[in-house]
Amino acid sequence: MLINVNPLLSPEVLSLLRSMGHGDRFVLSDANFPSYSHASKLYRMDGLTLPQAAEAILSVFPLDSFIPHPVQRMEIDGKPDEINEIHQDIIDTVHKVSGPNWNVGSIERQKFYIEAKKTMAVITTSDSRPYGCFIFTKGVLKPDGSVWIV
């Protein structure tokens, strides 16, 4: 066991998050995302909702302040500006854990699939709410351990 590490983070997920560098990305997905066909590496957080997984991940994961949207959600088909329940839950989780100034952007669904294949990994959850797929981009830590904000 480790001190102050969320116990929902498996050794494998911690290893992934630690090995990522600035600008590296991963997908956090719902249970319906085609994870196996889109992941260069696949990690599972079975039994967890997306907000539970995101809260655990964001407890150790710095977001990228060099880009406008370090978290991007999959858009709802034909309704790109609509925020559904799971989108709002992740927006709220980002603000709760990382701070209120982080912006969550969006990507059209088919473009999301293309971008997902370019990420380091997919972390899939048991959440079955539709359009519950997000891309997270890693930021930079300063020597004192705080997140670099530009």
- What percent of the residues of the chain are helix, what percent strand, and what percent coil, each to the nearest 5? 30, 20, 50
Q: Which of 70, 144, 77, 62 is nearest to 108 (CA)?
A: 77
d(CA 10, CA 73): 24
Cα diameter, the chain: 46
38 part of the active site: no
**In a 3-state reduction of DSSP, which class is residue 12?**
helix
Q: Which residues, 6 or more positions from 118, have their beta carbon under 8 angstroms from its beta carbon?
A: 25
Whether 20 and 13 have beta carbons less than 8 Å apart is answered as no
Q: Of 22, 38, 87, 95, which one is the catalytic site residue? A: 22
Which residues are part of the catalytic machinery? 22
